[in-house]
Structure 1
Amino acid sequence: MITGPQARALPETLAGMGAGEMARRVIYCDEVGSTQDTLMRRADGEPDGAVLVAGRQLCGRGRMGRSWASPPGTLTFSVLLRPDIPPDMSGIAMLGAAVSLYDTIREYIPGARLEWPNDIMADGKLAGIVLDSSVADVLEWVVVGVGVNVANDPREVAEELTSDGSFGGSDSVHLHAAEASAYDILAGFLARLYSYHSSMGRDAHHVISAYQKRCWNVGRQIRRGDVLGTAQGIDRDGALLVETEAGMRRVLF
């Protein structure tokens, strides 16, 4: 999705589009197996805020190890963060990323919604997020992986990518807003994520509150496994708080 000569000058392009501090260390690869796995392998040698963007991703994955196919027209990238938060609160980074992506896409698609924990939806799924972390005595880093179906028309994607569920984008940004480019989405996301990242350690409640205000599920009935009830809010680690007949339950992502 981000390819060609402009991709070679990606840091400068993003900086010029208002991406801010997170445009300082942007790595572009024509092709990778997975942006997430590649950046995780490089994490010890990369600074806080490093971004890895792929022109083409061959073996993407979503939450819980699910396969995520990335046909042409998909924006795929990962971001390395070193937040000053306890290990049991690493999920806060997921919430900050989800809000950042949702607010960016909502600029172009006002009717988009954020579904817990990390899916951006319109008529179908537009984007998703995955998070991995490294924990020793402290939280060393988290890597946030993002996949956005910018330009693929799900009706035209090869059947083999949709029949097995590996193509996560059942909707497309361009079906709603043809003017939105992958560069617009990436720059907007990075600028917003930097703002949340810089406040995670000192004001986690701000991140949680921002997510909770946007989360479509809050106030609605939800079923996850054996939990059935009404979603009431978000806990400090990103868990969904669900009021059931037996009392309040926590649902982890």
Structure 2
Amino acid sequence: MQATRRAILSELADGPVTGPALADRLDVSRAAVWKHVEALREDGFTIRGTETGYELASIPEYGDAAVEFGLDAPFDVEYHEQVDSTNAIARERAADGATDLVVLADEQTGGRGRRARAWDSPSGGVWMSIVVTPDIPPARVPLLTLAGAVAVTEAVRDRGVDAAIKWPNDVVVPGDGERGGRKLCGILTEMAGESGQVSWVAVGIGLNANIDQASVPPDATSIAAEVGPVDRRSLVQDILERFSVLSERPSETLDAWVASTDTLGQHVRIETATASFEGEAIDVTETGALVVRTDGEKRVVHAGDCEHLRPA
């Protein structure tokens, strides 16, 4: 959002303010204030002119301006009604030098998960990609995936959903369903870099929010199916604010991930690009790799698919 418009909304959040007072406080002309107010109205904000000044009566239900208003995290938001893939746009923006950017869409037509699996992304979900430029080595990038999973899990738990994390990148509702619960959210992280240094990271989050059960796969679920529809604006803000904090605190991210996962202690089947084996999931390393005890030894899995078979 343009900086002056953000400042106007911040002023109006505390109550009515006259045009001249806004002009003085923001060091702009009265004509500029009027133009910015009109632009905010076009973005969906209801701003009334009263005897005591401009009054913020309502905010948009969803979109870039709505999410940025009141967001306590350093992100700009780029919103689209429909896109092929938010990660695809995020890669383009990152290549052009963008950072601390959230690409948000109401609907994706070409969403993808791990190993290029299709991910249905109908209207009503939360489909977004967070672009950051962290000063970390590539080996620690998976911690951002864990931070995204924790942020989503905590946010949906606060809204009444009994969610848990399934390694490496799913948020599920434990119980029935294939492979360790009914899938609620998938996270796909992509990165670019060279010489051991990360240039950018895009953390893609696909969350089944206000979607009917009939519109998700049989082994998946949605927030609406579990507890009813939620306010997507506040949900996205909650996730972004939690992610912003966790991404700067690796040790807290690991502790929170362990506290939120349903994978540790499970008898699991692991499938990697070169092997398939079973064992007990016993730990996660400081870079997010899964430690599995099998045949009397410990195997560290950095990437692969994990299926919960039964508690160990």
TM bracket (short chain): 0.7 to 0.9
The one-character-per-residue Cα deviations of 1:185-227 (angstroms, maximum 9, x if unpaired) are 211100000101223xxxx333222212221111221111322
Aligned residue for 2:220? 170
Instruction: Select 1:250's aligned residue among 300, 303, 307.
Output: 300
Aligned residue for 1:14? 67
Structure-2 change in CA distance of 1:73 and 1:107 (3 Å): same
| Residue identity opposite 1:14 in structure 2 | V
Aligned residue for 2:104? 53
Deviation (angstroms), 1:45: 3.0
Deviation (angstroms), 1:46: 4.5
**Structure 2, unaligned stretches of length 5 or more?**
1-42, 45-59, 176-181, 304-312
TM-score, reference length from structure 1: 0.85
Deviation (angstroms), 1:7: 6.4
Aligned residue for 2:141? 90
Matched residue SS, 1:144: strand
Deviation (angstroms), 1:16: 4.0
Deviation (angstroms), 1:246: 3.6
Task: Work out the CA distance in 1 between the residues paired with 2:67 and 2:210.
Answer: 20
| Residue identity opposite 2:86 in structure 1 | T
What is the CA RMSD across the aligned residues, in angstroms? Answer: 2.1
Matched residue SS, 1:249: strand
Aligned residue for 2:92? 41
Task: Tell which has more relative contact order, 1 or 2 (C-alpha 8 A, sep 6+).
Answer: 1
Task: Work out the CA distance in 1 between the residues paired with 2:160 and 2:129.
Answer: 23
Q: Does 1:133 align with 2:185?
A: no
| Residue identity opposite 1:20 in structure 2 | D
Aligned residue for 1:75? 126
Aligned counterparts, 1:21-32, within 5 A: 21-22=73-74, 24-32=75-83
Identity %: 26
Farther off after superposition, 100-109 or 40-49: 40-49
- Kept in 1, the 8 Å contact 2:62–2:232? The answer is no
- Kept in 2, the 8 Å contact 1:8–1:28? The answer is no
Q: Does 1:205 align with 2:254?
A: no
The one-character-per-residue Cα deviations of 1:35-84 (angstroms, maximum 9, x if unpaired) are 00111011033443210101221101111211112122222110001112
| Residue identity opposite 1:82 in structure 2 | T
Structure-2 change in CA distance of 1:7 and 1:42 (3 Å): farther
| Residue identity opposite 1:57 in structure 2 | Q
Instruction: Select 1:146's aligned residue among 198, 205, 227.
Output: 205
**Structure 1, unaligned stretches of length 5 or more?**
164-168
The one-character-per-residue Cα deviations of 1:16-50 (angstroms, maximum 9, x if unpaired) are 45x3123x411111221100011101103344321
Matched residue SS, 1:60: coil
Aligned residue for 2:3? none
Structure-2 change in CA distance of 1:43 and 1:244 (3 Å): same
- Kept in 2, the 8 Å contact 1:227–1:249? The answer is no
Q: Does 1:230 align with 2:284?
A: no
The one-character-per-residue Cα deviations of 1:141-171 (angstroms, maximum 9, x if unpaired) are 11001111112222x22xxx748xxxxx721
- Kept in 2, the 8 Å contact 1:97–1:144? The answer is yes
TM-score, reference length from structure 2: 0.69
* Aligned length, in residue pairs: 234
Aligned residue for 1:62? 113
Deviation (angstroms), 1:9: 5.8
| Residue identity opposite 2:246 in structure 1 | Y
